[in-house]
Amino acid sequence: MTPRDFVGRIGFYVLIGLVTAFFALPMLWLVGTPFDEQPGLALSVPDPTLGNFSELLDNRFALPSLLNSVLLALGTAVLVVAFAATAAYSLSRVRIPGRDVLLYLLLLLSSIVTGTAAMVPIFLLMFELGLIDSRVGVVLVLSGGLLPAAIFILKDFMDSVPKSYEESARVFGASAFQILRDVVVPVIRPGLATIAVWTIVNVWGNFLVPFILLRDADKQPAAVLMRTFYTEGGAPNLALISTFSLLFSIPVVVMYLFVNRKYGFRFYGGIKS
């Protein structure tokens, strides 16, 4: 190794170190502060305690908002997985005229009609339908937005499953329903799991849609409620914010680990866990 290479190598590691620090710095607060006797905004070596977690119980809205997040996430996941799976199966196996055009159109639509660009009509639509302050309304809007991509991904998945599985079952005399239950669903289970996790993580972190559609703090999910902890006047309750943040982020981190372990994150990286 020449001295120049050596200096270059050192420089490289210093750069990697800086980038790592850049990404780690904001997150360190989340790891330390919840367990700090005197939670502050600055990073500090914690004086270990679990006392901060009692704040979660003291706040009337904190835990129920997490439950709301669970309801929204599961509700949307059920709708998206069920509807996307049936649609993808049909589109993959039955020659419906104009199928490919339809798929690309859906894809185009879902990528341009984002929550941000369509917040005005969506807000008005839900207003007219009387679905403001309704968790069902939020689930429906989120499902509508996530379905096209879910169908697209599942159809690709379905296309890679040999058609001979179903044909072979038909030769045995299995009915369409038996084929679905005994062959198709078990075979595409990994795809369904991926879509479910993908939906849950998306809904879990979504702020905008519940923010504009839910006014009642009793119905708001954690993503929306959390903002009220630090934007409403007075000094923010750091014990509450830190413990709440930790609890709120654990599920997505766990699911990330699950997907990573089970299917390899790299492969599904593009669809964002």
Site for other proteins in 39-98 (CB under 8 A): 40-43, 79, 82-84, 86-87, 89-91, 93-96
Using CB under 8 A, pick the residue from 47, 51, 60, 168 that binds other proteins.
168
Residue 38 as a binder of other proteins (CB under 8 A): the answer is no
The span from the CA of 259 to the CA of 251, in Å, is 12
Residue 269 as a binder of other proteins (CB under 8 A): the answer is yes
Q: Are 65 and 78 in contact (CB under 8 A)?
A: no
Residue 266 as a binder of other proteins (CB under 8 A): the answer is yes
Using CB under 8 A, pick the residue from 52, 143, 194, 243 that binds other proteins.
143
Stretch that binds other proteins, among 9-17, 46-54, 55-63 (CB under 8 A): 9-17
Q: Which is nearer to other proteins, 79 or 239 (CB)?
A: 79
Q: Are 150 and 198 in contact (CB under 8 A)?
A: yes
Residue 138 as a binder of other proteins (CB under 8 A): the answer is no
The span from the CA of 45 to the CA of 164, in Å, is 61
Running DSSP on this structure, what letter comes out for residue 53? Answer: G
Using CB under 8 A, pick the residue from 16, 37, 47, 51 that binds other proteins.
16
Give me the DSSP letters along 145-172. Answer: HHHHHHHHHHHHHHHTS-THHHHHHHHH
For residue 217, what are its two tokens? Answer: 């703090």
Total Cβ atoms within 10 A of residue 54: 11
Query: 134: alpha, beta or left, given left = phi > 0 and alpha = psi -120 to 50?
Result: beta
The span from the CA of 213 to the CA of 144, in Å, is 15
Residue 248 as a binder of other proteins (CB under 8 A): the answer is yes
For residue 88, what are its two tokens? Answer: 């993808």
Residue 130 as a binder of other proteins (CB under 8 A): the answer is no
Residue 111 as a binder of other proteins (CB under 8 A): the answer is yes
Stretch that binds other proteins, among 45-53, 56-64, 243-251 (CB under 8 A): 243-251
Using CB under 8 A, pick the residue from 18, 57, 171, 235 that binds other proteins.
171
Residue 35 as a binder of other proteins (CB under 8 A): the answer is no
Q: Which is nearer to other proteins, 57 or 171 (CB)?
A: 171
Name residue, tokens 């919840």: 34
Q: Give the rounded distance of the alpha carbon of 24 from its chain centre.
A: 22
Using CB under 8 A, pick the residue from 198, 239, 240, 243 that binds other proteins.
198
Residue 193 as a binder of other proteins (CB under 8 A): the answer is no
Residue 220 as a binder of other proteins (CB under 8 A): the answer is no
The residues with which 48 forms a beta bridge, in sequence order, are: 36
Residue 178 as a binder of other proteins (CB under 8 A): the answer is yes
Using CB under 8 A, pick the residue from 71, 74, 78, 174 that binds other proteins.
174
The span from the CA of 272 to the CA of 7, in Å, is 37
